[in-house]
Chains A and B, each alone.
Chain A
Amino acid sequence: MADKKNIKVDARLCRDCQACVLACSLHHERECNLELARLVVSKDMARYEFDIVICQHCDEPDCIVACPSDAMILDKRGVVIILDDECNRCGSCAASCPHDAIFYNEAQDRYIKCDLCAGREQGPLCVELCPVEALTFVQAEEPVELEV
């Protein structure tokens, strides 16, 4: 999809303020809860390094292939979303994700992932809020075609 945009992550710029995570859960779940966010920001204290895990919206998503119950679909924007009613909680999607970006919430017994803030005209909230541009919303890179 030529006009597909994606969230680009540069964890080196991150400061661990968690504003993106808190905003994400607030937007999607109406509460501030790190466990209900669609992205995870973590810190390796020994090295003072940060990691941001969020769906990379792969061009050929393994999660869709892995899902046995057709709960992972591409919406009109070409973004992978989870149909919670169809999900059988098997965890195949999370296990197949190369970025570990599909999260299981134990308290609610459901899987959640980034949907690029579906329905939000301004685009993903986390990007808008990040004060250091560790998250940016950019044109998706064209897949590199390897010569065989």
Chain B
Amino acid sequence: MASRIAWDEIPAGTTPYDPENRVIVATGPLTGTLAPTTGRTVMTSISPRIYPRPWYTHSTLGGWFGPEMKYAGYDAIVIHGRASCPVYLEIQDEKVRLVDAQDLWGLDARETQLTLKGRMGSQGSKIQVLTIGPAGENLVRFSSVQHAEENAAAHSGFGAVWGSKNLKAIAVRGTGGVSVADPDALLREVLKEEGDRYSLFITCLFEDGAKKKRPVCSQACIFNCLVSNYGHTVDGRRVPGQCVGGVAWMSEDFMKHTQYSGGGVEIPPSKNFGLCEETSLHELCNSLGLDLWFRVVMQPWFIRCKQLGIHQIRGHPIEPNDLFWFEDFMHRLARREGLGAIFADDLVRAMDELEGELPEELIHLGRELEFDFGFPAHREGRFWDEEPLPFWVISAMMHASTSRDPTIGAHHSSLLLAEFLMVDRDVALQQFRILSQQIWGYPDALEPTFENKAPVAIWSQHQHMLIDSLPLCDFAFPQLVRPIDTLETWRKTEHIVGDLDLDLRLFAAVTGREKNHQEMERVAERAFTLERAMLARAGRDRKMEEAVLAPHFKLPCRADGTLIDEAGFAGLLDEYYSARGWDLELGWPQTDQLKALGLNDVIPELDGYRQNQ
């Protein structure tokens, strides 16, 4: 839905801060229901973070906003134009108005939400708010749109798009409901009649496994999520943290995993600051409205600066292992002050700014850390996660064909399987062969080789598209592997495939429409293809993908040392584009495909771009 609105409404050539740019906030058919994890909300727009040129992309956030929006009667909100002064959008069922927000401008995300809730008096806990912090107001390219304690659409820098529109917040209150076609079927799916169906397969990789009770980040989530944690701030308050916040920030020593050495790139281990201090920093990051991922690239980069004898940049001292310096740096980033003014346009753009002033190694490192068109390296087997062959190859294909870091939406669909390979290679490969045969129709889909990986990449992308569209959480769906409670059980298990029909049954229970995997994949392919057409509209093609991405994969994988040269990377693209049916020269969908997917209206525009190549 969001991609269609964007294709129809955002004119070609629109830049992120152009009033013609749209911010689309969208829900899906399962939003607001009891179907597990369906509290998520999708946001799309032209992103200012993407480098070297912006294009259309998406973010999702968990929480309670999407359901409330649906209870108010809306499937999507489309924002365009620019207000003459700061405003917030207030929605109470059918009543919609823009309200002067000059008194909110400058408040952090937490203060803004508490203020808006306070204005509602006893009803305050019932309104749900999306808001930007100071970072979004100051057009920081990796600024977030925040919700609740720490839900955020952050990676794509949409906070800055809101800031450019003078939109501080959206507050929504809905008193309606969502009808369910077959309530008994939905209740059956959700009740735990068949054991602990709603736990994650990665549970067995954690020592404390399912025992520890963890927070949820979305309405209707009944999982005990392994990437969630409670922490306590320095002033003693309990707060939740999820994903990179819960795992990396609110941790005793996770940041040391950013360590890497190979191919002329050296990254020293980074430092966590102590549990309470980390929790407070994590809360500050959310309050300022910064993408938590900035730390994963900037802290290691600054530490490398120190190792190379660089102790200040343009007169600003750098002390990345000092808590107070780091906290101050975050404030400066959000307000574009001092050193923050240089890095508020993100690390990769700061490298353009600082080229010639700093050693070439640092410039090169900064560009590699955000090699993915400006997004931090993630699940690509080098700097962050250990993704041994074949997983980084699958990841590389996904990076080369989507609008942004694609692996954030594919945690459960394929890439987390790498964790099993790291634990026990022989056991994992034996299980993978059975799983591959069942899902992709051939046994070597997950063999540690470079060949025949495109079907897995495409399947994962389509699953990601479905998960964002329904919506569901990608840590929990699709249930590629069934819940396994201990490593001992895992080792003894031959058939690990999970309940892959669960999302279909949830969809049928809510909508009354029975769909099979093939039909759902076609829907996903249509949305994915439309997004690819949006990239073509922005001038992205195979040539750019090879030039920008191929060098990164010449670095050896940190888990197994495997790598690929430019010719090999081109071979991966050949395989991927062929499997997609795209043309091999530009990597764009072909006319016949567009017709078959019902995207006839896209054909003339794409033909026009082809002729201009």
Residues of A in contact with B (beta carbons under 8 Å apart): 13, 15-19, 22-23, 25-27, 29-36, 42-48, 106-107, 125, 128-129, 131-132
Contacts and interface: CB of A to CB of B under 8 A. Distances in A.
A17 B175 contact: no
Interface string B232-267: 000001111000000000000000000000000000
Contact of B219 (A18, A47, A132): A18
Contacts of B32: 32
Contact of A31 (B179, B198, B213, B224): B179
B187 A32 contact: no
A35 B173 CA distance: 12
A33 B71 contact: yes
Interface in B214-242: 215-216, 218-224, 237-240
Contacts of B34: 19, 22-23, 26, 32
Nearest to A30: B183
A129 B223 CA distance: 11
Contact residues of A: prevailing secondary structure? mixed
A36 B187 CA distance: 17
A23 to B, nearest CB: 6
Interface in B97-118: 110, 113-114, 117
B216 A15 contact: yes
Contact residues of B: prevailing secondary structure? loop
A109 to B, nearest CB: 13
B213 A13 contact: yes
B581 interface: no
Contacts of B180: 26, 30-32
Contact of B213 (A29, A125, A132): A132
Interface size class on chain B is: 35 or more
B222 A125 contact: no
B433 interface: no
B453 to A, nearest CB: 36
Interface string B185-206: 0110011100000100000000
A106 B240 CA distance: 34
B148 interface: yes
Contacts of B219: 16-18, 22
Contacts of A13: 213
B176 interface: yes
B149 interface: yes
Given A35-B177, A45-B148, A129 B190 contact: yes
A26 B186 contact: yes
B237 A44 contact: no
B178 A32 contact: yes
Interface of B: 32-34, 36, 64, 71, 110, 113-114, 117, 125-126, 148-149, 175-180, 183, 186-187, 190-192, 198, 213, 215-216, 218-224, 237-240
Interface centre among B34, B176, B215 (most CB of A within 10 A): B34
Nearest to B68: A34
Contact of B183 (A16, A19, A26, A128): A26
B148 A33 contact: no
25 contacts: A15-B213, A17-B219, A17-B220, A17-B221, A19-B34, A19-B190, A22-B220, A23-B187, A27-B183, A30-B183, A31-B177, A31-B183, A32-B33, A32-B177, A32-B178, A33-B71, A36-B177, A43-B125, A45-B114, A45-B125, A48-B149, A48-B237, A48-B239, A107-B176, A129-B191
B220 A125 contact: no
Contacts of B215: 15
B240 to A, nearest CB: 7
A25 B240 contact: no
A23 B190 contact: yes
Return the 5 tightest CB-CB contacts between A and B, nearest first: A33-B177, A22-B34, A42-B125, A31-B177, A131-B222
B238 A48 contact: yes
A128 B191 contact: yes
B179 to A, nearest CB: 5
B178 A45 contact: no
A47 B237 contact: yes
Nearest to A18: B219
Contacts of A26: 34, 180, 183, 186-187
A35 B178 CA distance: 11
Contacts of B71: 33-34
A25 B177 contact: yes
A48 to B, nearest CB: 6
Contacts of A35: 175-177
A33 B187 CA distance: 15
A141 B71 CA distance: 38
B455 to A, nearest CB: 35
A31 to B, nearest CB: 4
Nearest to B125: A42
Nearest to A24: B34
A129 B222 contact: yes
Contacts of A22: 33-34, 219-220
Nearest to B118: A46
Contacts of A36: 177
A81 to B, nearest CB: 21
Given A17-B216, A17-B221, A33 B178 contact: yes
Contact of A106 (B175, B186, B192): B175
A25 to B, nearest CB: 7
Interface centre among B125, B148, B215, B238 (most CB of A within 10 A): B125
Nearest to A47: B237
Contacts of B183: 26-27, 30-31
A16 B192 CA distance: 19
B224 A131 contact: yes
Nearest to A44: B125
Contacts of A29: 177
Contacts of B126: 42
A131 B239 contact: no
B416 to A, nearest CB: 21
A36 B183 CA distance: 15
Interface centre among B125, B177, B190, B192 (most CB of A within 10 A): B177
Contacts of A16: 64, 216, 219
A129 B220 CA distance: 11
Contacts of A48: 149, 237-240
A112 B215 CA distance: 30
Contacts of B176: 33, 35, 107
Nearest to A106: B175
A17 B215 CA distance: 9
B187 A45 contact: no
A124 to B, nearest CB: 12
Contacts of B240: 48
Contacts of B186: 26
